[in-house]
Structure 1
Amino acid sequence: MGVKKKQRPRQNLAAGRPPTVQRPKSITRKATKSLIGKIHVLEKRRTQAVAKGDVTEEAAIAAEIEALGGLQKYQEASLQGQREDRGGDSSRVLLDWLKDSGISPSVLGDDGRLRMLEVGALSIDNACSKSGLFEIQRIDLNSQGEGILQQDFMQRPLPKDDSERFDIVSLSLVLNFVPEPRGRGEMLRRTLEFLQASRSYPSPSLDPLFPSLFLVLPAPCVLNSRYLDEERLEAIMSALGYSKVQSKTTQRLVYYLWKLDTSKAVGRQEFAKKELRAGGSRNNFAVVLKQGG
């Protein structure tokens, strides 16, 4: 009887890769939605515990968030949502609007690229990054790689002059992650600090669109909230000096391009949390705007 030769284990290159470069497993749309919803609720409860000074409750909720995977898992779920079979990259909508307005790299010229601040950036390979229209600075609370600065937008140093400001700020699925209504209002107000006060654009076609804010929200935040509807959102944005120049609604998302009138003084109107639509099936998403932020 012959002696069996010891078989060498098969080499698997993927098994030898460090965890940081392994691609996250795909999760279903239902699981993605569930995870994001759970983390949103927990973040809101955690913020409320902080406001009450309840350290024990805050720690317990933080542990729950960590058990779900924390911000890392939230971002993985968001990246899943950017896949083509999940609706794709939200910045494609912005590019379609610009294309319809006749804006292209040739119109901008070699030195005329638009400066974008992308808040909550998940990738350096989205449609805007590949368009040739933008010079982009990307920030996120938990950077997913090179080219994305780990930074909280609310803590980002304010610009000293227009050389540190932008033609457009992108808040794509960012505002809805802020746990408190007043914090959302403060974030919208803070965008004003980062937009160009004046710039001579290379083409008249750019003037009606910039400086601007690209805002993307889950559709239920506007379409099915007790405290926010389209009219209310427009009133809040108008009080900040913004006017709506483009919008699009899909089953899952609402997209807006808001143009800032830098010559218009910011209004002192306040917007409290006020019920606009009753009904047990409504969600509680709201934006509260106070004078002075």
Structure 2
Amino acid sequence: MATTAKKKGAPKSLAAGRPPILHRPKTISRSATKALINKHHLLQKRKRQAIAKGDKAEEAAIDAEIEALGGIQSYQEASLQGQRQDRGGDSSRVLMQWLEPCFSSLSKKKSGRRLRMLEVGALSTQNACSKSNHLDIERIDLNSQEEGILQQDFMERPLPRDESERFDMISLSLVLNYVPESKGRGEMLRRTTQFLRGPGRYIGDPQLAVNFPSLFLVLPAPCVMNSRYLDEERLIAIMESLGYTKVASKTTQRLVYYLWRRDRVCKGAGVSFSKKEVRSGSTRNNFAVVLS
């Protein structure tokens, strides 16, 4: 598949691509990694605010601060450090744990069935899901430099022409939080339904029907646990409006993991979700998902 050309004037869906992984980055401490990532997140937030206000001088000053930190490369290398196994590591290990009963059942049946998975924002071709004999994985990223990961923006990916181009599962692991605007996040979640196979496809196979077709969603924990505009109840309501049902979830100090099964086809405008405060307090962040 050829690299998708960016449309002139189209809004960019993600703040930045994933890091190149041809070379192992120099190891830095856990605390330094966290501080660097947090600083970049703060600067990117300030930059979005400056862009929204049309303040070119402030935007340029923030760009200079980002470059002084080592630019996007330093941020990407810090993100890779966080993916190491001794730091909590590969998020798809949680997904594989959830799917283990299903895959064990497939192995016992010796069906040889392989499920199609689209991994958006792929970091590596060697993660836990890549080692499964039950998955055929297509990997995309905004800034791939590894063979096996297509350089492509999910929001500009051509829509499937037929069922053969759809997927049994989509992975959005630490991707949604890189979308700069709350409305764009809602549009990304809505767009996943266009790439998944239809609900009820596996109704004759109970093990598969429990988990597929589905969306694996991973976010930084504060996006859900400490947001002014989003909590788990509201996230569930948003996902249900798109036809998803929560199958599994896990919360750690750093991350929240969700597996959502697509149960319904939602046609028309559906329910709208504005930027509504669900928690008060000066220490809350402003992460939000808007469906209009």
The TM-score with structure 2 as length reference comes to 0.84
The structural deviation recorded for 1:143 is: 0.9
Instruction: Rate the CA distance shift 1:184–1:264 in 2: closer, same or farther, 3 A.
Output: closer
Return the alpha-carbon distance in structure 1 between the equivalents of residues 165 and 256 of structure 2.
Answer: 29
- Tell me if the contact between 2:21 and 2:124 (Cα under 8 Å) persists in the aligned partners: no
CA contact (8 A) 1:44 1:180 kept: no
Given the alignment of the two structures, is residue 150 of structure 1 paired with residue 162 of structure 2, yes or no? Answer: no
- Kindly state the Cα deviation for residue 104 of structure 1 after the two structures are TM-superposed: 5.5
Task: Give the letter aligned to residue 244 of structure 1.
Answer: K
Per the TM alignment, residue 155 of structure 1 is displaced from its structure 2 partner at its CA by: 1.5
1:226 is aligned to 2:221 = no
Alpha-carbon shift at residue 89 of structure 1 (Å): 1.0
* Partner amino acid, structure 1, of 2:62: I
Between stretches 276-285 and 105-114, larger displacement belongs to 105-114
The 1:100–1:106 alpha-carbon spacing in structure 2 relative to 1, beyond 3 Å, is closer
Query: Unpaired segments of 5 or more residues in structure 2?
Result: 1-19
Contact 2:103 / 2:134 at 8 angstroms: preserved in 1? no
Equivalent-residue separation in structure 2 for 1:20 and 1:138 (angstroms): 14
Q: 1:163-204 CA deviation, whole Å, 9 max, x = no partner?
A: 111111101111111122111111111111111126458843
Deviations 1:82-122 (A, max 9, x none): 21211121101111111134545525856521111111111
Counterparts of residues 280-291 of structure 1 (less than 5 Å):
280-290=282-292
Write the distance in 1 (CA, Å) between the matches of 2:151 and 2:102. Answer: 33
Cα pair 2:202 2:212 within 8 Å, conserved: no
Letter in 2 for 1:274: K
Question: Closer, same or farther in 2 for the Cα pair 1:187/1:163, shift >3 Å?
Answer: same
Contact 1:104 / 1:133 at 8 angstroms: preserved in 2?
Answer: no
Q: Are 2:106 and 2:112, in contact at CA under 8 Å, matched by a contact in 1?
A: no
Task: Please show how residues 246-257 of structure 1 align to structure 2 within 5 Å.
Answer: 246-257=248-259
Match of 1:241 in 2: 243
Distance in 2 separating the partners of 1:246 and 1:61: 39
Partner SS for 1:34: helix
User: C-alpha deviations, 1:52-80, integer Å up to 9, x for none?
Assistant: 44445444434433443444333322221
Structure 2 Cα separation of the partners of residues 89 and 267 of structure 1: 36
Q: After superposition, where does 1:166-245 map in structure 2 within 5 Å?
A: 166-197=167-198, 199-200=201-202, 203-245=205-247
The farther-off stretch of 254-263 and 108-117 is 108-117
Contact 1:75 1:122 in 2 (8 A): no
In structure 2, distance between residues paired with 1:170 and 1:75: 19
Larger radius of gyration: 1
The CA RMSD measured in Å over matched residues stands at 2.4
Amino acid aligned to 1:116: M
Structure 1 residues not aligned, in runs of 5+? 1-18
Amino acid at match of 1:124: T
Residue pair 1:216, 1:255 contacting (<8 A) in 2 also: yes
User: 8 Å contact 1:226–1:278 — kept in the other structure?
Assistant: yes
Asked if the contact 2:22/2:145 (under 8 Å) is kept, the reply is no
Deviation at 1:44, TM superposition (A): 3.1
CA gap 1:90/1:275 in 2 versus in 1, 3 angstroms = same
Q: How far did residue 264 of structure 1 move? A: 4.5
Higher relative contact order structure (alpha carbons within 8 Å, sequence separation ≥ 6) = 2
Query: What is residue 44 of structure 2 aligned with on the other side?
Result: 43
Match for residue 27 of structure 2? 26
Q: 1:105 to 1:157 in 2, by over 3 A?
A: same
Could you say which residue in structure 2 is the equivalent of 1:96? 97
Residues 1:69 and 1:151: Cα distance change in structure 2 (over 3 Å):
farther
Change (3 A) 1:242 1:255: same
Structure 1 stretch displaced more, 49-58 or 22-31? 49-58
CA distance in 1, matches of 2:57, 2:265: 48
Amino acid at match of 2:131: K
Instruction: Indicate conservation of the 8 Å contact 1:171/1:214, yes or no.
Output: yes
The answer as to whether partners of 1:118 and 1:171 remain within 8 angstroms in 2 is yes
